[in-house]
Structure 1
Amino acid sequence: MDPADVTSESPEVPRFLKPLPPAWVMAAALVAVAANLRTAITSVPPLLDAIAGDLGLSHAAAGALTTLPVLCMGLFAPLASTIAHHLGAVAAVLAAMGCALVGLLSRWFGDDALTLYVGTFVAGVGIAVAGTLLPRLVKTFFPPHRAGLVTGLYMFAMMGGAALASALSAPLAERLGSWQGSLASWSVIALVGLLAWAPFTVRANPHHTPGEEGPGRLPWRHPTAWLVAGYLGLQSWGFYSAVTWLPPTYVELGWDRATAGYLGAAFSGSQVVSGLVGPLLSDRVDDLRRLLFPAAALAVAGCLAIWVAPETAPWTWVIVLGLGQGAAFSVALVLLVRYARTPEASGRLTGMAFLISYGVASVGPLAMGLVRDVTGGLAPVWVLLAGITLTQAAVVIRMRPDLRRVT
């Protein structure tokens, strides 16, 4: 839907409502929100050993600090459509940003494990609701031939925020004197997102989306929805496990925390590139398998290289891995738009896909932490992740462009 098509002259929209802002303003607000969707997760791994040492946590329990937001992204994704039905999708994103801000800021007081986990949970709820509704808002406010571009822009912001959090967490901990201060400092970006989104909320209220339906049921009986959910589950397992255990892998090899954090930033930074390019190419490709297969191949190659020769060319390995993971996820977001007939259907498809995929993926960092506790090292983790990504590639075979759309 072109923003110009949604005006105060539409019969479904009361005349006293203000017109929508220009498309570039809406895209900028969306980008400001998207920058917060991974910082709560990627800010933790460079400091994982310090957090575990101070709080007396095992590797599995420490891994739960990245698992918890992912679990929230699964559990609360279906509720996002219900919240959007009552508040309007745009206002729901504003409320979600408020949750993210409060959760991140509370980490300043994370001197005990309970406070840290509760703050992480609250931030995870905000991330879940906002992340679920963004594909729906792309389909609502932007024309179909711009869906890939806008998706690429918010992927760029999301992975850019993730890269910054990974790179700066350890230096910020040294500068601020504590890992608590470092983790809480990312609330500043959440505040920026909240302030950028607030004016958009005033104009783009629920009445600007004529004919909006109720939240409806999730498409449990739709085979396309299950296929997308299965693909996202495998991809997310690999991604969040890699995000969590990449810096600790190199800390175990003798690297200092800051340098290992920079390596994690290179992993996220490479996703900025492929996360933007993948959706842009999707606007020109009918069969998205032509993008999804190369993405999986890159991810497998990166995992195997880290396993076989972690210190031969580590920066190259993580960039290859990041390029594959970034493209795999960003193109999957395009699937959530392309395989739905309406914005509301996109919201329901996203809710179901995120519930299943993030529910499955939330086990990943914890399970890989258990592998570390049992084997005494992180090398086996990368073999397992390569196998999971190969399974992901097998699922791609069935993702034909003529699959039945979710209605």
Structure 2
Amino acid sequence: METVRTTARPAVWLMLAIMLVALNLRPSMAAVGPLLSAIRGDIALSFGVASLLTMLPVMAMGLAMFVGLGIARRLGEQRTLLLSLLIIGLATLSRLLVDSAAELIASAVLAGLGIALIQALMPALIKSRFPNSVALCMGLYVTSIMGGAAIAASFAPLVLAHTGQWRSGLAIWAALALLALLFVWSQRHNLASPTAKAPRQDALFSNARAWLLAIFFGLGTASYTCVLAWLAPYYVENGWSEQNAGLLLGFLTAMEVISGLVVPAIANRSRDRRWVLAALLGLIIGGFCGLILSPQSLSLLWPCLLGLGIGGLFPMSLIVSLDHLDDPQRAGGLTAFVQGIGYLIAGLSPLLAGLIRDRLGSFEWAWWSLTLVMVVMLLMTLRFDPRYYRRHFR
């Protein structure tokens, strides 16, 4: 992809297309948690096995990241987006017919593969098409991802209540994929790109900074995937209805949307992102401590803190990676590596939390573990001094 400076009107429509595509990247996972008790009432699932509905698509996203950019270069941006949306849509729609845990998990993995192709492509696409507004556009993109999660978490229980079928609550989000397919097709001229020469390949597997960025992204995303999978079941166990627990998860993801939009815009004022990262991690630590010590009292405050922290940390982790390299192709390769390794790390957190719940009878030890992880990440932020970025990627 060559650097393309889009004019105002096409740029707006292209950004809208990106945001609509991004809305499809989390509903297949976010709708599961609020409906889990209904699913477990129909299909035999332990908490450990149920965690696979979040873990395996995230792991698939990580593995597919390593080939996603290569596929995008061969197919082109538009065809990659269309293929990915088609995969997500079919995987989501197939949930109308699932009758076993294996079929439900297979649909989750298939959706994860489609999601990964999009997530591998988007950072490089944004950096090449919006070179002067990378932080803002990444914020809009990630905000839309969180928005899709908020919509699915909030409305999936309402679909269940209206139809009496949890399968409908999982499958209805195929409509979002169809809408995005039509919009991306309408943007085929803005997404058309000349054949790019093969980019320089950085030796990322032997680069210590690339691994630091990947581990930082993975640990931060672990908090997101674990909360996405288990916050609603945690509150159901504390006596809440599925609908209210789903609305609470929707409230958390709404806070993520606000933070994902506002934080990158604030951080754009300075290239040194460390103080922003530290503040976001502090919010997450406060949220987890509240969930553990007082889940019923101030029950909106703790998801608010978690949402504001996680929602800002996700785009900022990618923005810090993009900051290290000016060339869009090399930066895209780095973010694909960071997301690939990071999602493999993050995918383990729902499984570990589910196993902890099965063994100890509570999610509280999972929240304590994630709190400790956030403290470790606070120490890692000290390494992200922009004055020394260039020395790590010569």
Tell me how far apart the structure 2 counterparts of residues 40 and 390 of structure 1 sit (CA, whole Å): 30
Aligned equivalent of 1:264: 249
State the Cα RMSD in Å: 1.7
Q: Does 1:349 align with 2:351?
A: no
Aligned equivalent of 2:159: 172
Q: Does 1:83 align with 2:85?
A: no
Tell me how far apart the structure 2 counterparts of residues 175 and 295 of structure 1 sit (CA, whole Å): 38
Q: Does 1:387 align with 2:372?
A: yes
Tell me how far apart the structure 2 counterparts of residues 222 and 274 of structure 1 sit (CA, whole Å): 31
Any stretches of 5+ residues in structure 1 without a counterpart? 6-19
Tell me how far apart the structure 1 counterparts of residues 303 and 197 of structure 2 sit (CA, whole Å): 43
Q: Does 1:241 align with 2:231?
A: no
| TM-score in terms of structure 1 length | 0.92
Any stretches of 5+ residues in structure 2 without a counterpart? none
Aligned equivalent of 2:266: 281
Name whichever of 166-175 and 297-306 sits farther off: 166-175
In the TM superposition, residue 2 of structure 1 has moved relative to its aligned partner by: 4.7
Aligned equivalent of 2:192: 205
Of 148, 155, 163, the residue aligned with 2:135 is: 148
Tell me how far apart the structure 1 counterparts of residues 335 and 83 of structure 2 sit (CA, whole Å): 19
SS of the aligned residue for 1:220 comes to helix
Amino acid at match of 2:341: I
Identity %: 32
Say whether the 8 Å CA contact 1:282–1:334 is kept in structure 2: no
Tell me how far apart the structure 1 counterparts of residues 6 and 123 of structure 2 sit (CA, whole Å): 19
Of 253, 256, 271, the residue aligned with 2:238 is: 253
How many residues matched? 390
Tell me how far apart the structure 2 counterparts of residues 85 and 171 of structure 1 sit (CA, whole Å): 41
Aligned equivalent of 2:46: 58
Encode CA deviations 1:235-288: one digit per residue, 9 max, x unaligned.
Answer: 011111111111111100110000000110111110001101111122211101
SS of the aligned residue for 1:3 comes to coil
Encode CA deviations 1:334-361: one digit per residue, 9 max, x unaligned.
Answer: 1232222322112211221112111011
Alignment of 1:250-399 (within 5 A): 250-399=235-384
Say whether the 8 Å CA contact 2:77–2:191 is kept in structure 1: no
Alignment of 1:12-31 (within 5 A): 22-31=10-19
Say whether the 8 Å CA contact 1:85–1:215 is kept in structure 2: no
Say whether the 8 Å CA contact 1:234–1:391 is kept in structure 2: no
Amino acid at match of 2:144: A
Tell me how far apart the structure 1 counterparts of residues 101 and 6 of structure 2 sit (CA, whole Å): 50
Of 105, 114, 123, the residue aligned with 2:111 is: 123
In the TM superposition, residue 82 of structure 1 has moved relative to its aligned partner by: 0.9
Say whether the 8 Å CA contact 1:63–1:244 is kept in structure 2: yes
Say whether the 8 Å CA contact 1:218–1:351 is kept in structure 2: no
In the TM superposition, residue 406 of structure 1 has moved relative to its aligned partner by: 4.3
Amino acid at match of 2:131: P
Aligned equivalent of 1:112: 100
Amino acid at match of 2:130: F
Tell me how far apart the structure 1 counterparts of residues 36 and 73 of structure 2 sit (CA, whole Å): 39
Say whether the 8 Å CA contact 2:47–2:354 is kept in structure 1: yes
Encode CA deviations 1:362-401: one digit per residue, 9 max, x unaligned.
Answer: 1100100000000011222211111111112121111111
Encode CA deviations 1:69-88: one digit per residue, 9 max, x unaligned.
Answer: 21111010111111012112
Tell me how far apart the structure 2 counterparts of residues 339 and 201 of structure 1 sit (CA, whole Å): 31
Tell me how far apart the structure 2 counterparts of residues 70 and 159 of structure 1 sit (CA, whole Å): 15
Amino acid at match of 1:88: G
Say whether the 8 Å CA contact 2:84–2:114 is kept in structure 1: yes
Of 189, 195, 203, the residue aligned with 2:176 is: 189
Tell me how far apart the structure 2 counterparts of residues 40 and 301 of structure 1 sit (CA, whole Å): 28
Amino acid at match of 2:12: W
Q: Which runs of 4+ in 1 moved over 6 A?
A: none
Aligned equivalent of 1:13: none
In the TM superposition, residue 217 of structure 1 has moved relative to its aligned partner by: 5.8
Amino acid at match of 1:331: M
Encode CA deviations 1:295-342: one digit per residue, 9 max, x unaligned.
Answer: 000000000011001111111110011101111111112123222232
